[in-house]
Chain A
Amino acid sequence: MKYLFIIAGVLLIVLSIAAGLIWVERRLLSVWQDRLGPNRVGPFGLGQVVADTIKLFFKEDWVPPFSDRPVFVMAPGLLMITILLTFAVIPFGPNFYVFDSNIGILFFLGNSSLGVYSIVLGGWASNNKYSLIGAMRASAQMLTYEVFMGLSLMGVVMMADSFSFCRIVEAQKGGWFFVPQFVGFLVFFIAGIAETHRLPFDLPEAEGELIAGYHSEYSGMKFGMFFVGEYLGITLISAIIATLFFGGWLGPSFLPPVFWFLFKTFFFICVFILLRASLPRPRYDQLMELGWKVLLPLSLLNILITGAILIFLK
């Protein structure tokens, strides 16, 4: 019974963060762009979320006749499923997790690889030149960055001696892993931005260049699922950064641990939005060069040095 509450609680928190992000992102972006975001619809513009949802429901949910119908319909769902599944292994508090898997990190990496599928299939099934280009770029970008996303986490795993998220949080009671694993944190952060294809790595979407890329043929609730799926991805990466490098739910005890976890996650979400507000988009080959030539060697060096120091200390 308690289990059902936990599952419902996690789902509720995650989905309300993702929906609330619609409003948060627009208000934060506008604060950094010297303008006011939506402030008309409800109190402080919060009704914008409801208005956008209703609008997406009422839009004509047209499946292009030239597209591959079952794949087209399935692609956005796949994205949501893989991201929500990963939330099941992240601890929101000392006993507030759905499932304490002892290969939590591997589960997360596997799901993010499946998430690449949703974009590739979405672009492929659209049967549209621009969607295809967007999907191919997306798959190349995400594959590249996934390689060292996993490698950069190996330093954390070595320091905590376990792949399980809960155990990693507990291993940080002596000190957050952000300090010894600073390089790993940076590499994972950049890889995370590329995984969720946010600015500055949003070439798959590239709203001015690729005419919305892989989701140009999507409308109505399917587009809504890609859209909310992207926000869920941001929330997931922020939650994982907070868990693996910044101590998860650890914090001074005058506030409940869930609050510390949510606060850290929210902080990283704001950093994601700040990145979107401030940085220009690199060219595609610059992006790939950065991945293969700079970040991969850095993450390998990180593993080398962390391993060497740990062996030396034992």
Chain B
Amino acid sequence: MLSILRSMWLTFLHVFHKTETVEYPEVKPYLAPRYRGRIVLTRDEEMKERCVACYLCAAACPVDCISLQAAENEEGRRYPEFFRINFSRCIFCGFCEDACPTYAIQLIPDFEMAEYDRQSMVYEKEHLLISGEGKYSGYNFYKNAGVDMGVKGKGEGENEETPVDVKELMP
């Protein structure tokens, strides 16, 4: 009997505890910066699109929700002609972000994307492209690898050495 009274007393003391409820939407929960929320396409520090339409994200996607088409602009730089993500299929796994070689496609900590109509859950490039660098600032793919787009010549990239002239005798 006493143990029953003790349980009742201890439960009663919970009146003085803080409630654990997060009163969404007045209070938003804390999301870590690596939280896998909405997908965005980012630009590099020269405000040009990072995406080179390599199809790696579409290939990595486990539910095939990414659809894109490559095209080349006048300078010869590849870009996606259209880039479509169907968010009603997307499982927010982040495989596309892991696959992307240019850090173009990123997942940001935003999840408030509810819509009434399934067709408005399909985001086109103009909905996905942001005017910033996203989570990885200062990274320009063409400075590290890739063909000569006027950004670097052969051997002038970061972490690269200039090529050695194999016909010279000097070291």
Contact = CB atoms under 8 A, between A and B. Distances in A.
A35 B22 CA distance: 9
Given A34-B19, A35-B20, A36-B19, A279 B8 contact: yes
B18 A34 contact: yes
Contacts of B11: 32, 274, 277-278
A35 B20 CA distance: 6
B28 interface: no
Interface residues of A, number: 12
Contacts of B19: 30, 34-36
B15 interface: yes
Using C-beta atoms within 8 Å of the partner chain, give the interface range for chain B: 10 to 19
Contacts of A277: 11
A274 B6 CA distance: 12
A49 interface: no
B8 A274 contact: yes
A106 interface: no
20 contacts: A30-B19, A31-B14, A31-B15, A32-B11, A32-B14, A32-B15, A34-B14, A34-B17, A34-B18, A35-B20, A36-B21, A36-B23, A274-B8, A274-B11, A274-B12, A275-B8, A278-B11, A278-B12, A279-B4, A279-B7
Nearest to A30: B19
Interface string A29-48: 01111111000000000000
Interface in A1-60: 30-36
Given A274-B8, A277-B11, 12 more contacts: A30-B19, A32-B11, A32-B12, A32-B15, A34-B14, A34-B18, A34-B19, A274-B12, A278-B8, A278-B11, A279-B4, A279-B8
B7 A35 contact: no
Interface in B94-115: none
B63 to A, nearest CB: 34
Interface string A273-285: 0110111000000
A33 B4 contact: no
Interface string B1-42: 000100110111011011111010000000000000000000
Nearest to B17: A34
Contacts of A278: 7-8, 10-12
Contacts of A34: 14, 17-20
A279 B19 CA distance: 20
B97 to A, nearest CB: 35
Nearest to B1: A186
A32 B14 CA distance: 5
Contacts of B18: 34
Contacts of B12: 32, 274, 278
A275 B7 CA distance: 9
B27 to A, nearest CB: 11
